[in-house]
Chains A and B, each alone.
Chain A
Amino acid sequence: NAGVTQTPKFQVLKTGQSMTLQCAQDMNHEYMSWYRQDPGMGLRLIHYSVGAGITDQGEVPNGYNVSRSTTEDFPLRLLSAAPSQTSVYFCASSSHSGAEAFFGQGTRLTVV
């Protein structure tokens, strides 16, 4: 059972480039979220989804887009990368409120 799979694991972008971080889960979870992790700041919510076709903004959504066309996939798009988006990105899924959230292994993104 794969759980939550994120690709790629590492990425270097130039300022202004765009890219998509992939996230897929095989647990049939309705809830999926994207977080970024920065030193001393914990994890901050970027976007989240409560089901296919439904997404909403989290705490730090600027510069990021998401879509949820299927239950399994929740890609995160960087429209025009900036150095401030250098971070480690985690995707998570859970079955319901109060349930354990399962996290991917993370994507380490560097924007130069």
Chain B
Amino acid sequence: AQSVTQLDSQVPVFEEAPVELRCNYSSSVSVYLFWYVQYPNQGLQLLLKYLSGSTLVKGINGFEAEFNKSQTSFHLRKPSVHISDTAEYFCAVSDPSNTGKLIFGQGTTLQVKP
């Protein structure tokens, strides 16, 4: 079975500072990895995903993530955050049985302060 752990429940950061949101996963088989963002009172939208190939994945809004197979991690980074990045971020892995199911971490709230 797969599982996802997001290591920080809240990350406060000042505007224009860099940020890293940490995600570790557990799986005995290859999985696809995703980061989704949820703005207040909205649904989730995809930031980026890793399927295969280059381990550095670039997404929308200046975010990027690096897949590290040996450490089973998929940390999300942004070099300079904006107030508008304040949201909840979810790391997820897909079930490899080709069902479209996603297994989510607990979420990390990014609080960008002026």
Contacts and interface: CB of A to CB of B under 8 A. Distances in A.
Interface in A53-73: 56, 58
Interface string A65-93: 00000000000000000000000001011
Interface stretch (B13-21, B40-48, B66-74, B77-85): B40-48
B99 A50 contact: yes
Contacts of B102: 33, 35, 43, 45, 92, 101
Contacts of B99: 31, 48, 50, 56, 97
Interface in B63-114: 90, 94-96, 98-107
Contact of A97 (B90, B94, B106): B94
Given A31-B100, A96-B100, A103 B107 contact: no
Contacts of A50: 98-100
Interface string A1-42: 000100000000000000000000000001111010000111
A35 B44 CA distance: 12
Given A40-B106, A42-B106, A100-B49, A33 B43 contact: no
A40 B42 CA distance: 17
B12 to A, nearest CB: 17
A98 B90 contact: no
Interface size class of A (residues with CB under 8 A): 20 to 34
Contacts of B43: 4, 90, 103-106
A102 to B, nearest CB: 8
B51 interface: yes
Contacts of B106: 40-42
Given A90-B43, A100-B46, A43 B101 contact: no
Contact of A42 (B46, B51, B90): B90
A29 to B, nearest CB: 8
A41 B42 CA distance: 17
Given A45-B102, A97-B98, A97-B99, A90 B107 contact: no
A98 B49 contact: yes
Contacts of B103: 45
